[in-house]
Amino acid sequence: MTLNLPDNAYLWLVASLAAGTPALSFIGAAGAAITVGVRRGGLLLSLLVLPLYIPTLIFGAKTASMAANGQDPSSALMLVAALSLFTLALTPFAAAAALRTHLG
């Protein structure tokens, strides 16, 4: 109710949050794996990860915005889901390679 969205937009908002959360989690995990052995890794982590978060956040917000305006938000939701599936497929290998490099 705080977002002042129409009633039909809340379902799309929850769907975009559910579809986008795995992408953000996997991107963060890969970034943490890259910076695990680096001093001052927090700054480097934010510089690496924040630009990768932006597409997921944009399309997630676009899903809720399109639903609030009465448009069909399924295209933006599919892009968020595609980003999540892409990161699900790619980041475990990237994180494993980064951990092998730093710790092995």
> Helix crossing, 41-68 with 74-103: angle to 10°?
170
Q: Give the pLDDT confidence score for residue 11 in this predicted structure.
A: 94
Evaluate whether 64 touches 77 at the Cβ level (below 8 Å): no
Q: Give the pLDDT confidence score for residue 103 in this predicted structure.
A: 82
Residues of the chain with pLDDT under 50: none
Q: Domains of the chain: which residue ranges?
A: 7-103
Q: How far does Cα 57 stand from its chain's mean position? A: 6
Q: Give the pLDDT confidence score for residue 67 in this predicted structure.
A: 95
